[in-house]
Amino acid sequence: MITAERKPLEEIIASVKPFQRILLVGCNECVTVCAAGGRKEVGLLASALQMHFMTEGKTIDIKEITLERQCDPEYVEELNVHMDQADAVLSMACGCGVQEIARRYREKPVFPAVNTKFMGASERQGVWAERCQGCGDCLLGLTGGICPIARCSKRLLNGPCGGSTTGKCEISPEVDCVWQLIWDRLKALGMQDRYEDITPAKNWQTGRGGGPRKIIREDLAE
């Protein structure tokens, strides 16, 4: 999923301060799962903002709504009926959702309430970790199903570097050395021989290096 974290309240407050009527929009997908911008977080943020402005002697109108998916035009359409009563939109979706609202409602200011972080997985309750950088040319088949691009601090395709210590990365004891994980997995799979095959330099054209990307499915596209 795409993970996100709420921005500091101070920043959110500063962005909506000039407006009276705020449409606060959550998303039922990834940001709900990572507890950053679902219905619950929308409720909490609305309450927090309301209280903050009350302490300044001001009351604002906050309309809370959580869409099924903020990155799909058909769901964003549901905002039509509320847009007239809003001076600004505060989005708790990932950057994709914020941009979809900006695209659909050109004359309405939209502000992000979360920082979109990474594509990751839940390691345990309340902990999410980066797993994929969307390089566009998956090599997990070569590395035992563990990605060195997303999970090696130096993005080494032929690791580990000389800083790997007792299974941890040199940058922090909190970070696993992904090459230790890959090696352990290759051993478990009986694929140690693969280690000495040199993985050639990556063609980053399929990733962000090739400029903004798009997928067009001829059979589905209208």
Partner 1 sequence: MKTESRLEKVLASGNLAVTSECGPPRGALPDKVREKAEMLRGYVDAVNVTDNQTAMVRMSSFAACVIIKQMGLDPILQMVTRDRNRLAMQADILGAYAHGIDTMLCLSGDHPYFGDHPQAMNVHDIDSIQFVQMVHQMREEGKFMGGGDILNPPKMFIGAAANPFADPFELRVARLAKKAKAGTDFVQTQCIYNLDKFELWMKGVRDRGLHEKVHILAGITPMKTAGMARYMKNKVPGMDVPDEVVDRMAGVPKEKMAEEGIKICVESIQRLKEVKGVSGFHIMAIEWEQKVPEIVEKAGLYPRPENL
Partner 2 sequence: MEQFEPVVVAFCCHYCAYTAADMAGSKRLAYPANVNIVRVPCSGKVDAIHLMKAFEKGADGVYVAGCLEGDCHFKNGNTQVARRVAYVKRLLDEIGIGGKRLEMFYMSAGMGERFARIATEMTEKIRDLGPNPVKSALNKKKGKAVA
**Rounded distance between C-alpha atoms, residue 54 and residue 67, angstroms:** 27
Indicate whether 206 belongs to the interface with partner 1 (CB under 8 A).
no
Tokens 């500091």 found at: 8
**Rounded distance between C-alpha atoms, residue 157 and residue 152, angstroms:** 9
Residue 50 interaction partner, one of partner 2, partner 1, none, beta carbon < 5-8 Å per kind: partner 2
Indicate whether 204 belongs to the interface with partner 1 (CB under 8 A).
yes
Closest approach of Cβ 8 to partner 1, in Å?
A: 18
**Helix orientation angle between 9-16 and 39-55, rounded to the nearest 10 degrees:** 70
Tokens 């509320």 found at: 82
Concatenated DSSP letters of 128-143: EEEEE---SS--TTTT
**Rounded distance between C-alpha atoms, residue 182 and residue 151, angstroms:** 11
Q: Which residues inside 137-196 make contact with partner 1, applying CB under 8 A?
A: 153-167, 170-172, 177, 179-180, 183, 195-196
Indicate whether 19 belongs to the interface with partner 1 (CB under 8 A).
no
Closest approach of Cβ 148 to partner 1, in Å?
A: 9
Q: Which is nearer to partner 1, 33 or 156 (by Cβ)?
A: 156
Residues in touch with partner 1 (CB under 8 A):
153-167, 170-172, 177, 179-180, 183, 195-196, 198-202, 204
